Structure 1
Amino acid sequence: MYFDLDGTLCSYDTSFEALFRRTVSLYGEPTDVAHETYVDRLLTALDRCESDPYRRAFEPVTKTITLDVTPTTLAAEYCERELEATVVTADAKRVLDTVAATNPTGIITNGDGEHQRAKLDRHELADRVDEVLVSNDCGVRKPDRQLFELAKECLDADEFIYVGDSYDEDIVGAREAGFRTVYVDGGSVAVEDAAAADGIVSSIGELLDDDPLPAALEGPFAS
């Protein structure tokens, strides 16, 4: 059984835009154009699974506005702020522990390998699972079926389940690779709008409750 990281196991107590502005404001004016430039370049770097995506994202920012700092320093300081903003609930940890007690368990996440693994280490998640796959390390990004197929090769199981909060990247991508899926919708999506998912919960903690547990997934969670 695999889980997504950002938005599923891990949330944030500060917006990414606020983190960007706090980082840049120490050295200059964090304008809207600078933020848009940063976001566009970061998304491109992540989509292409490029190395050092945050440094690459800050490079055009230093050309858009005058900053007395290097892109490397900005990237390091931003990533540290984002790491400090991460929140992993006790429920999320209990879900991992419950599943891992009887099933091979892993995490599939999009992002920079070093940065994503730092989140896992900070919240002691890496030791709770058997396998971690990060898109930039693997050279392929969700929802590409290839990443899910690679994940299937990493755990010994007859059937695979994926739990994630992005319908297009997590649910659709995993289903195409033959996974059963649980959609963590945050309570904001109508059931008919997520028909491809085998189960829908509003939060990761609901997987520990008897009633919300999708009937199709009772086996993996049964003790």
Structure 2
Amino acid sequence: MYFDLDGTLCTYDESFESLFRRAVSPHGTPTDAAYEAYVERLLTALDRCEPDPYRRGFETVTEEIDLDATPAALAANYCDIEVDATVVTADAKRVLDTVAATNPTGIITNGDGEQQRAKLEFHGLDDRVDEVLVSNSHGVRKPDRELFELAKARLDADEFVYVGDSYDEDIVGVREAGFRTVYVDGGSVAAEDAAAADGIVSSVGELLDDDSLPAALEGPFASQA
């Protein structure tokens, strides 16, 4: 059984724009244009699985505004701030522990390998799973089937389930690789609008007590005595 990271196991207590401004403000005045340029370049780097995506994003920022710090230093500061802003609930950890007690368990996440693994280590999630696959470390991103096929090869199981919060990347894409799916929709999507998912919950913590999951998915999430 695999889980997504951002938006599924991990959330944020601050907006990304606020994190950006906190990283930049000690070195100059952040602007809306600088933030927009940063986001565009960062997302492009992540989509292309380029190395050092945050540094590349901040290189664009230093072209927009005068700052007394290098792109590498700004990126390192931002990444630390972002990790500190992550939130993993006790329920999310309990889900991982419960599933891992009886099933091979892993995490598949898009993003920069170093940054995503820093989040896992910060919250002790890396010790709770058997495998971690980060898109940029493998040169392919969800919903590309290649990443999910690689995940299947990493864990010994007859059937695979994936839990994620992005309908296109985590549900539609992974079903093509033969996974069953649980969609974490944040309570905002009607069941009929998420027809490709085998189960729907509003938060990952509901996996341990949600009676609406199909019988085929209930077993892996059953509480252990």
* TM-score, L = length of structure 2: 0.97
Equivalent residues in 2 for 1:40-119 (5 A)?
40-119=40-119
Residue 142 of structure 2: aligned partner: 142
| Aligned-partner residue type, residue 188 of structure 2 | S
CA shift for structure 1 position 172: 1.0
Partner SS, residue 7 of structure 1: coil
| Alignment partner, residue 215 of structure 1 | 215
Q: Indicate if the aligned counterparts of 2:181 and 2:197 stay in contact, CA closer than 8 A.
A: yes
Aligned to 1:154: 154
Alpha-carbon deviations, 1:45-83, whole Å to 9, x = none? 000111110001100110111111100000000000000
For the Cα contact (< 8 Å) 1:103–1:220, is it kept in 2? yes
Q: CA RMSD in A?
A: 0.9
Corresponding residue pairs, total: 223
Matched, 1:166 2:166: yes
The answer (yes or no) to whether the contact 2:185–2:202 under 8 Å persists in 1 is yes
- Say which SS state the counterpart of residue 207 (structure 1) adopts: helix
1:13 matched to 2:10? The reply is no
CA distance in 1, matches of 2:28, 2:162: 43
Q: Distance in 1 between matches of 2:210 and 2:62?
A: 52
**Residue segments in structure 2 that go unaligned for 5+ positions in a row:** none
Aligned partners of 2:16, 2:183: CA distance in 1, in Å?
23
Report if aligned partners of 1:92, 1:204 keep a CA contact under 8 Å in 2.
Answer: yes
Q: Give per-residue Cα distances to partners, 1:183-222, cap 9 Å, x unaligned.
A: 0000001111110000000000110005233323023224
C-alpha distance in structure 2 between counterparts of 1:4 and 1:152, whole Å: 15
What SS does structure 2 have at the residue aligned with 1:26? helix
What letter corresponds to residue 73 of structure 2 in structure 1? T
Q: Which runs of 4+ in 1 moved over 6 A?
A: none
Classify 1:189/1:210 alpha carbon distance in 2 versus 1 (closer, same or farther; 3 Å).
Answer: closer
SS of the residue corresponding to residue 200 of structure 1 reads strand
What is the aligned-residue identity percentage?
82
Structure 2 Cα separation of the partners of residues 69 and 220 of structure 1: 49
Amino acid at match of 2:3: F
SS at match of 2:27: coil
Paired letter, 2:162: Y
